[in-house]
Amino acid sequence: MFWAYEAGGRFTYRHGGRDHKIPAAVGVHHEALLQILDSPSTFATWAKVDPDVPAVVVDQLLEAYCTHQGLPANPDDATYLVALLSVYGDELEVDLRKVGVDLRTEFQARHWRLLLNAISRLPYATHWRQTMLNDPETAERIVRAQERQKEKPKSGIPIAEFTQDVALLRDAITTLRGVQAAIAAAAGGRPGAIEPYPGPITVLGSVERDVRQRDHEALVARVLPGRGSQPDG
């Protein structure tokens, strides 16, 4: 419920028996703001926090200020957003408008947490992702990152995009694959197993497989002692 505390405007805190006010982020240039948020010490200098305020309190003060202004609590997230917009700002302006978010308005209002939240939940088919994936350097970094992963990335369609039309199209593709296999078999061929078109991405499938595997191992251990799965080592 971050939005419940994102009041904006000047931030007021109490220390030493009196109120202290910190300027609103909306009046600070975005590049200067990134430097201010970079560390509690730079924030304390800019905000003119009394030197006798303990470091742990300054940390809490910075976090509270970011929440109050609608900024991400992690300064790395703010840096990421500005870097992302510097490269794909034109595309994201169009993509965000389709989901009712005005990039210019929210960026200038310093509602950066909201922008990060909206960008992370954009549909896969977007202008910014199209541009990004057609950039050779970015594509190479993605491929290399996937090669370092022990597990393959999940394939399929996000639940939020699995509409009725998509479901019908998926069923039609799977049916077509079955027809193609039947024709191949009738012609004397040996078609392989029919691979269903990927469905929604969830962890349910992997959890079900894990449960079935554990149930199978437990059954084997009861029926054939010594044949069940053995602990490593």
SS (H, E, C) the chain: CHHHHCCCCCEEEEECCEEEEECCHHHCCHHHHHHHHCCHHHHHHHHCCCCCCCHHHHHHHHHHHHHHHCCCCCHHHHHHHHHHHHHHHHHHHHHHHHCCCCHHHHHHCCCHHHHHHHHHCCCCCCHHHHHHHCCHHHHHHHHHHHHHCCCCCCCCEEHHHCCHHHHHHHHHHHHHHHHHHHHHHHCCCCCCCCCCCCCEECCHHHHHHHHHHHHHHHHHHHHCCCCCCCCCC
Do 87 and 144 lie in one domain? The reply is: yes
Q: State which residues form the domain around 207.
A: 203-233
The reported pLDDT for the residue numbered 91 is 95
Do 167 and 214 lie in one domain? The reply is: no
Do 142 and 162 lie in one domain? The reply is: no
The reported pLDDT for the residue numbered 26 is 94
pLDDT(105) > 90 = yes
Q: How confident is the model at residue 98 (pLDDT cuts 50, 70, 90)?
A: very high
How many domains is the chain partitioned into structurally? 4
Q: Which of 50, 71, 92 is the last residue of a domain?
A: 71
- pTM, full prediction: 0.66
Do 191 and 207 lie in one domain? The reply is: no
The reported pLDDT for the residue numbered 156 is 65
